[in-house]
Structure 1
Amino acid sequence: MWGNAFLLSALYLLVGVVVELALRYFPSLFLQRLSLSLDSLPARALELMGAMEPLRTAYFNGRIPEYAVRLVFGLTTVAVIFLLALVVGTVMGTLRHLLSRRTRGA
Structure 2
Amino acid sequence: MADVKVTRNDDEARYELHVPDENGQETLAGFARFEEETGRVRFTGTEIDPAFRGQGLGDVLASEALADAAQRGDTIVPVCPFIASYLTKNEVAGAVVDWPGETPTDAATPGESSA
TM-score (norm 2): 0.27
TM-score (norm 1): 0.29
Query: Normalized per residue, which structure has more strand?
Result: 2
Between structure 1 and structure 2, the one with the greater Rg is 1
Q: Which protein has greater RCO, CA pairs closer than 8 Å, 6+ apart?
A: 1
Query: Normalized per residue, which structure has more helix?
Result: 1
